[in-house]
Structure 1
């Protein structure tokens, strides 16, 4: 008897995911923990493994479908650890329910005549010449990087149909291009090519979050000219939902101040080669993170959360700092765990590695869980002061702008000083303005008169 396997819990707050790859087909033998489908969640791409060995009886989802936690994705008949025979072909007799019980097997039904030609792939007429690149061995798992999968989705190619030329059958971008060219050749060679399938209807709008007003109806923009609609990615949907919830539930206040980092930057330049020897990049971010961890220890409410359901303040006894990171698919916030216990070199190495994994779509769910405070640095883009939005359930975020040299009166004349704009945004339900001012002053003071930097 087959069991339906549902999409498991993917982590805190994640309720849905988009299917970006189906890695098995009906009739495939699968092992325990073998990937069944690949999904894109709000922040990461994940393989969903099989719970046990068995034979896939049905795949219940398709690429592009948005599925929710608990929704069935495949139907698998367990083999109980035994080596199962391949699934019977269409028209073959099913095994007797009394097999292995000692009773004589029932006479098999006559086999159905074999089809005169192989079943063509979807949208390709049987009369078209079938190129070898259109076929793949049944049951294989596709080995391909996230970038290759993204490219295949963008040009409308199903990655599971592309045979790989790399080691172990790994699929490259060139393989995807060759497969796409073969598909086009077949379609144009056929006098009766099938019409493209209709676009899938957009998923239903999610129910409004508690405390978030329902979105206003969009006016008819097509009345004023040509428009184009693009489906929001899971990352963009999550960003829109979470930030709307944050803005609606948390009264934000932002305090801004400039820090003179002239001496700090000079010291940073002296130490950056030593840090680079360990694989890190000593930008201002690791130093800011170290300063922020001291501020969170000094002002523990900045590291806390507010539980309105129980009317309690939840103080965390750990400090995990998120780094807002810009990627092609949108904003992600990987987390440096136990940041207060790490040296500048360790912070520099980990921040660089997390940023690279974020941009390569290699972050896991755990890499973005559990943050207690966030730093958002737009200084590299030339931005000055800006207001950041809180990342719930956090109650604080530091916005960092571009440091610039400015003339500053030093008592006996003006001198050029490197000054960095900072903005501290807090949840006013928990943090009073005076407390926020003291915390920002602490951060500014630590940057202007830093203790000896130990790498």
Structure 2
């Protein structure tokens, strides 16, 4: 009996991840909950546990592959009495030997369509049944993740709740436990693969059973969150043959509005985030050739389609409102790079998931949002003196109050006074979404790239609370321990380069937000104050904003209000 372990949902909006490392190989014996791989997503690296126990029959992914939520990672067979958890090569009779009488967790029935259940059912064995472990829902909106590492091998005997995979989502790295005990018969994924929610990752042979194979469900409480997955045999056929693919790429694709996406035809296989991207770029998914399993359309397919369209016709994508959107709104696909090796030695370095996602998001933001940047300076002489005095009084027992914390608190107050700056533009309805909560993202530079954890409900917290939370989030960001929730829900963002240097810069708005505040290094300057020349500490501020929502006069008023708060401690205290 075998069980398939598929990549579960590992975070909101996360549909795929790269397999950074596999912890298991075919023949290894898994314990439930054992980590099987390390996954790298756009934002973090996670270890993926497998809830199934057993021997790894097959590993379906390898290090470096991109896996999607629901993609098969491992096939796991039921372990025999002489097999041990962790390493199938352990000698029989050792202290770690798995007893034949050890109870195995009965597989749960997954709430999936009957067609999927029938297509994914494994054959039974005399010793019990083979269950498929599929990627469960691991976060709201997260549909896929990368397999950073497979922690088990084929032949491993695993215990219930043993970690079998390490998954990396866009926001965090998590270990995935398997609720089943048994022997891993087959591993359907490998490190580097991108797996999707509901995808079989392991086939596990469990002890006992009725002899009828069943697909494994997600851990308790999560199976209901699985998005319905069509059996590959049921999915709409896509162009896949090389000749057909070449002919399709030779045709000039046509960008159309989303109103033609459905007219009684079967739905195009694509994740919700891919559909979101297509809507933002004005792409009809029925015009896109999917490169994923069963013709599933990925982010890369949509972007390649747009690049092809721009290169061939140089015609902007058209949204429902008729205005250029996405990559067509102000830029063209770049031409191919020249052969730099003709001029000297070169080397190539693959971008990690965080860098790739950041590049994609920045491209969308820059091309969708018409940016304007308002520069100003705040006299922070008195605030800085008060901040230092406070730090001396608190000592090592309190949080370090930085200018970033002060600026975030002042920014939240300004957002309350200027509601448009705390909104998002809905292009589908031509409405502003005015948010009544104030969550400020704080950009953090890490060795793996830029991440933006979010300080929630800033308006309800003191400067001390904000400072403590910033310090905690920054530490987690550098250690790649941020949770999915801590990276979501921002209404505005602050980025501070003052610790490095610079006079001013133009930060890019983090779509779908409408503004971002940049802070440069404070400079001591001679200023005329009350008829006297005095040395003052001036802080350069740069506010980039979406000109579709915010006009220049409002931006200037916003900056004047913010600078006044930062220049006078009493004004700031009265406002907060």
Instruction: Give the alignment's TM-score, normalised by structure 1.
Output: 0.70
Mapped partners of 2:458, 2:487: distance in 1 = 14
Distance 2:355 2:126 in 1: 54
Does the CA contact (< 8 Å) of 1:373 and 1:396 recur in 2? yes
Matched, 1:6 2:6: yes
> Residue 29 of structure 2 contacts residue 157 of structure 2 at CA under 8 Å; is this kept in 1?
no
Partner of 2:489: 370
- Give matches, 1:243-258, under 5 Å: 243-258=362-377
Distance 1:84 1:319, change over 3 A: farther
Contact 1:407-1:417 within 8 A present in 2 as well: yes
Instruction: Quote the Cα distance in structure 2 between the aligned partners of 1:205 and 1:67.
Output: 13
Which residue, 496, 514, 518 being the options, matches 1:395?
Answer: 514
Higher relative contact order (CA 8 A, sep 6+): 2
CA contact (8 A) 1:19 1:38 kept: yes
Does the CA-based 8 Å contact 1:275-1:282 persist in structure 2? no
**Could you tell which deviates more after superposition, 328-337 or 313-322?**
313-322
CA contact (8 A) 2:48 2:165 kept: no
1:58-113 residue CA offsets vs partner (Å, 9 max, x unmatched): 22111222223332212235x7xxx96456999xxxx9945689xxxxxxxxxxxx
Alignment correspondent of 2:300: 206
Q: Distance in 2 between matches of 1:418 and 1:11?
A: 43
Identify the residue that residue 438 of structure 1 maps to in structure 2: 557
Decide whether aligned partners of structure 1 residues 98 and 75 sit closer, same or farther in structure 2, where only a CA change above 3 A counts. closer
What whole-Å deviation, never above 9, does each CA across 1:34-53 have from its counterpart, x for those lacking one? 33321011111112232444
Counterpart residue number, 1:227 = 346
How far the C-alpha of 1:275 sits from its partner, in A, is: 4.1
Task: Check if 1:341 corresponds to 2:485.
Answer: no
2:406 corresponds to 1:287: yes
CA displacement 1:406-454 (0-9 Å, x = unmatched): 1111242311111100011111122222222222122111111233659
From 432, 438, 442, the equivalent of 1:323 is 442
Match of 2:40 in 1: 40
> Are the structure 2 counterparts of residues 317 and 48 from structure 1 closer, same or farther at C-alpha, using a change threshold of 3 Å?
farther
Aligned to 1:50: 50
Query: How far apart, in 2, do the equivalents of 1:223 and 1:242 lie?
Result: 33
Partner of 1:115 in structure 2?
Answer: none
Deviation at 1:387, TM superposition (A): 0.7
Work out the CA distance in 1 between the residues paired with 2:350 and 2:19.
14
Give distance in 2, aligned partners of 1:245 and 1:273.
Answer: 44
How far apart are the structure 2 equivalents of 1:5 and 1:409? Answer: 70
Residue 19 of structure 2 corresponds to 19
Q: Distance in 2 between matches of 1:100 and 1:397?
A: 58
Equivalences for residues 10-409 of structure 1 within 5 A: 10-77=10-77, 85=81, 97=125, 206-209=300-303, 211-212=326-327, 213-409=332-528
Question: Larger strand proportion, structure 1 or 2?
Answer: 2
The TM-score normalised by the length of structure 2 is 0.56
Taking only aligned residues, the RMSD between alpha carbons, in angstroms, comes to 3.5
User: How much does 1:24 deviate?
Assistant: 2.9
How many residue pairs are counted as aligned between the two chains?
357
Over alpha carbons, which structure has the higher Rg? 1
Shift of 1:317: 2.5
